[in-house]
Amino acid sequence: MYAVIVDVRDEAAALCSKYGFIPFADPERRLLLPMATLRRLVDD
């Protein structure tokens, strides 16, 4: 597994970007969180 992909509501997108989620070009509300970022978040 290389990343976590989520579909978020508009109001949640800003919060998710705070944690390192990267937006896909299309659709806009689909976000990707690389596993390396997730590991850093969990280790903190």
CB 24 within 8 A of CB 31: yes
Residue 17: the pLDDT is 83
Residue-wise pLDDT tens digits, 30-41: 999 999 999 998
Listing DSSP states for 2-44 in one string gives -EEEEE--HHHHHHHHHTT-EE-SSSTTEEEEEHHHHHHHHH-
What CA–CA distance (Å, rounded) separates 36 from 40? 6
Residue 4 clears pLDDT 80, i.e. is over it: yes
As for how many domains the chain has, the answer is 1
Residue-wise pLDDT tens digits, 7-22: 998 788 888 888 889 9
Q: Which domain holds residue 20?
A: 3-43
Residue 43 clears pLDDT 80, i.e. is over it: yes
Is the preceding peptide bond at 34 cis, omega within 30 degrees of 0? no
